[in-house]
Amino acid sequence: MTAQALTRRQDDRDALRLRFRAVRQHTEALSRNLTAEDQCVQSMPDASPAKWHRAHTTWFFEEFLLRPHLPAYRPLDPAYRFLFNSYYEQVGARHPRPKRGLITRPGVAEISAYREYVDRHVEHVLDMVSDDIETTIELGLQHEQQHQELLLTDITHAFAQSPLAPAVLPEWRDAEDMAEPSFIAYEGGIVPIGAAGGFAFDNETPWHEALLAPYRLADRLVRNIDFLAFIQDGGYRTPTLWMSDGWATVVAQGWDAPFYWREDDGAWLQMGPAGLQPIAWHAPVRHISWYEADAYARWCGARLPTEQEWEAAAGDTRLHDLTGRVWQWTNSAYLAYPGFRPQPGAIGEYNGKFMINQMVLRGGSLATPPGHARPTYRNFFPPDARWQFTGLRLAADG
């Protein structure tokens, strides 16, 4: 290897080391204002305690990086392999997801020690970076960034159950956009879809082409004030606006407004990162399910975009808030791209086995960590999910 190549390799190692430290520190920053009691609570089966998120992201590096690449590595506690496995069947048995809130021990301090222990050993692996190791570390960092978002959404859900409605991020404020939305026309045609370079999760590949008919896309997200009109016009009482499963859910669960909306003496409030606050009417509507997004679009005489339409338009600077506000529901079921093949081994369980009964979201939300969003990113949740920061952008035929 030439001196120039060696220098480049060392620069890559140094950059990866700095990135590793920054991502790991961001997780700790998100949980710094949480008490030990906060970090142990699990408010519903689909959410996880903050302490578990901190431990599971550490387990990921231990399981997929340290065990295979550091022969002398000895786990801090062998029980953690069982406690903090999420859904990797090939790794072995695991604690049931709905009962993660019952894991009172190890405590928060012990989880902090676990994170420090694994980080020290990862630093040794960073000194012997190969293409395989670098790929695994980057996957682990992207995985941790996903859990940073989940940590924030899950603790927001937990705090919403408290009569005190505490704030996760007290200084956070919802920015408003007073401009009225308009539609931008796109010609369609044959467009490239999927990741063609750089990091991508396996579900963003393989790169392929799709044929799109002419379509139009709203330049702005649907706002709270817009959704209020849907409510006032009886949107939650009109079954013809809803898919059958959606209407059954509305009736069974008594939906009459987006998640976390509360009406108090004629004033509307919403739970968010800053606690219970008056609704910012010209901010994007958030915490709505796919069912609600679809019903609203139908009420408008519009529709949701397909994920291919969204991605093909993502480079257009006329589109506002493509990321950083809310994940945007699409009209696309979460399915494999043509030619998709899961990766071998337990890592292959990461995305592929969930390609059923879910809908795709695009963009990124206020909870998405900086640098994590990209135009090809495919988020996915069941159509009734509401606790994530999810909203919508309207589309229409050309």
**CATH code of the domain covering residue 303:** 3.90.1580.10
Quick check: is 177 in a domain?
A: no
**CATH code of the domain covering residue 61:** 1.20.120
Q: How far is CA 189 from the centre of its chain?
A: 30
Side by side, the strands of the sheet bearing 379-381 are 379-381, 359-363, 327-333, 390-391
Tell me, yes or no, whether 14 and 50 share the same domain: yes
Task: Spell out the per-residue pLDDT of the chain, length 398, in tens.
Answer: 566 655 566 677 888 999 999 999 999 999 998 999 999 999 999 999 999 999 999 999 999 999 999 999 999 999 999 999 999 999 999 999 999 999 999 999 999 999 999 999 999 998 877 888 999 999 999 999 999 999 999 999 999 999 999 999 999 999 999 999 999 999 999 999 999 989 999 999 999 999 999 999 999 999 999 999 999 999 999 999 999 999 999 999 999 999 999 998 889 999 999 999 999 999 999 999 999 999 999 999 999 999 999 999 999 999 999 999 999 999 999 999 999 998 888 777 778 899 999 999 999 999 999 999 999 999 999 999 999 999 999 999 99
Q: From CA 76, how far away is CA 2, in angstroms rounded?
A: 39
Contacts for 371-375: CB closer than 8 Å, 24+ residues apart: 372/142, 372/145, 372/146, 372/149, 373/323, 373/324, 374/195, 374/198, 374/200, 375/311, 375/314, 375/315, 375/322
Tokens standing for residue 40: 């142990």
Quick check: is 169 in a domain?
A: no
Tell me, yes or no, whether 214 and 328 share the same domain: yes
Side by side, the strands of the sheet bearing 395-397 are 183-186, 215-218, 395-397
Domain total of the chain: 2
- Burial of residue 49, with CB atoms counted within 10 A of its CB: 0-12 exposed, 13-18 middle, 19 or more buried: buried
Which 3 state secondary structure label does DSSP give 148? helix
Q: From CA 232, how far away is CA 230, in angstroms rounded?
A: 6
Instruction: Domain of residue 381: give its range.
Output: 183-397
Quick check: is 374 in a domain?
A: yes
Quick check: is 319 in a domain?
A: yes
Quick check: is 178 in a domain?
A: no
pTM of the complete model: 0.95
